[in-house]
């Protein structure tokens, strides 16, 4: 879950409309011309990778040829896919309720279900905590494994796992296991986190959580994809080990990067198959898409990641009125906010979302 500041982001007075923001965000940005799979090295060196990840476009002189776009074009395509966020908390912290709601979403044509994460919450509630400490949160990956057995088609996504709070090798194993037991349906949404009280309780430094997140993503990919996995970084190093089975999906479990900060947007461009924005209205979403376009001028994106898939959880409101505005921006998926105390309210939300399924 994103911090309250990100959730309530609004454009400044006198700013352009969300469609205007979308037109500004039509920036053509490059996949790298260089191969992202050089001859095999004995290990991935995170410190060397860090020197390669930020490459500024040349100033003056000859312009780069116009490259393929990897941000979605504003104006929409065949329609916005619909998912459901919050399948592990509130009423869905009861496993039988979560299974019924996930099955209803799948039957209604939803393409994905999403879990959030907080290991602990401040008691009493204090900023920037998003919820009272009594809010029930199931572990996001364990909950999705339960739903893998209850569903057949929907993608099973974390939105998000707080990556720097976790051991990346253990998380890589858990995500690979989810991908195997679900038949290749896992999506791993990750973020750097914002709740300093939670970091303190877990004994994880709050400082440098951004670089730690970057490195952990690289380390997990090394474990998933290298024939002889090895990695050397400032926060994690390993060699002479392996982890089987590998994920079902080629290249490992797709990584979806959450967050609206400049660092999160750069991380999405450099390392993410997708980007996830939580509780963002269309105007705030347009601003984040502009931020992704700015990041793309400075950050090199591996061609193997392909086009950046955009997922947004809208704030509460009229979904029928909101959906076309997100479609104009080029959003690929709306993960509806399913934080409800009662199963009946969740099933009503699924019924409302079914009207948006194209």
Is residue 121 within 8 Å of residue 198, measured between CB atoms?
A: yes
- pLDDT for the residue numbered 71: 73
What DSSP assignment string belongs to 306-347?
Answer: -SPEEEEEPPSS-HHHHHHHHHHHT--EEEEE---SSHHHHH
pLDDT tens column, 260-273: 999 999 999 999 99
- pLDDT for the residue numbered 26: 37
pLDDT tens column, 281-334: 999 999 999 999 999 999 999 999 999 999 999 999 999 999 999 999 999 999
3-state SS, residue 56 = coil
Task: Identify the structural domains of the chain with CATH numbers, from first to last.
Answer: 19-25+68-354 (3.20.20.30)
**What is the rounded average pLDDT for all residues in the chain?**
85
- pLDDT for the residue numbered 100: 99
- pLDDT for the residue numbered 46: 57
- pLDDT for the residue numbered 1: 64
- pLDDT for the residue numbered 76: 54
Residue 339 CA to residue 2 CA, distance in Å, equals 14
Q: Give me the count of residues in the chain.
A: 358
Query: CA–CA distance from 57 to each of 29, 32, 63, 90, 339 (Å)?
Result: 10, 12, 9, 46, 42
With pLDDT > 90 as the criterion, what percentage of the chain qualifies? 78
pLDDT tops 50 at residue 47:
no
pLDDT tops 70 at residue 67:
no
Residue 53 CA to residue 49 CA, distance in Å, equals 6
Is residue 188 within 8 Å of residue 158, measured between CB atoms?
A: yes
- Can you tell me the mean pLDDT for 132-155? 98
């Amino acid at each position: 879950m994103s911090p309250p500041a990100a959730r309530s982001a609004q454009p400044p007075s006198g700013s352009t409309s969300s469609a205007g923001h979308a037109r500004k965000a039509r920036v053509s940005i490059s996949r790298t011309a260089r191969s992202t799979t050089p001859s095999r090295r004995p290990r991935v060196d995170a410190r060397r990778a860090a020197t390669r990840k930020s490459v500024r476009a040349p100033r003056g002189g000859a312009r780069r040829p116009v490259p393929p776009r990897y941000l979605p074009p504003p104006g929409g395509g065949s329609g916005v896919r619909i998912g459901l966020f919050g399948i592990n908390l509130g009423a869905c912290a009861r496993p039988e309720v979560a299974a019924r709601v996930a099955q209803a979403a799948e039957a209604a044509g939803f393409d994905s279900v999403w879990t959030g994460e907080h290991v602990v919450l401040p008691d009493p509630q204090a900023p920037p905590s998003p919820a009272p400490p009594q809010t029930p949160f199931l572990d996001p990956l364990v909950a999705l494994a339960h739903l893998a057995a209850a569903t057949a088609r929907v993608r099973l996504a974390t939105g998000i796992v707080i990556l720097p709070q976790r051991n990346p090798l253990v998380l890589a194993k858990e995500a690979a296991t989810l991908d195997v037991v679900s038949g290749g349906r896992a999506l791993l949404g990750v973020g750097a986190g914002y709740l300093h009280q939670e970091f303190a309780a877990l004994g994880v430094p709050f400082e440098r959580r951004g670089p730690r997140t970057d490195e952990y993503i690289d380390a997990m990919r090394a474990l998933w994809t290298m024939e002889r996995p090895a990695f050397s970084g400032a926060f994690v190093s390993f060699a002479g080990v392996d982890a089987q089975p590998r994920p079902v999906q080629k290249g490992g479990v797709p990584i979806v990067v959450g967050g609206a900060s400049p660092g999160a947007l750069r991380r999405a461009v450099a390392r993410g198959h997708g980007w996830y924005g939580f509780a963002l209205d269309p105007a705030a979403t347009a601003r984040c898409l502009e931020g992704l376009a700015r990041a793309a001028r400075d950050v090199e994106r591996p061609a193997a990641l392909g086009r950046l898939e955009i997922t947004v959880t809208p704030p509460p409101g009229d979904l029928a009125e909101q959906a076309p505005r997100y479609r104009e921006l080029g959003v690929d998926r709306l993960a509806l906010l399913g934080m409800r105390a009662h199963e009946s309210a969740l099933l009503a939300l699924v019924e409302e979302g079914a009207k948006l399924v194209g």
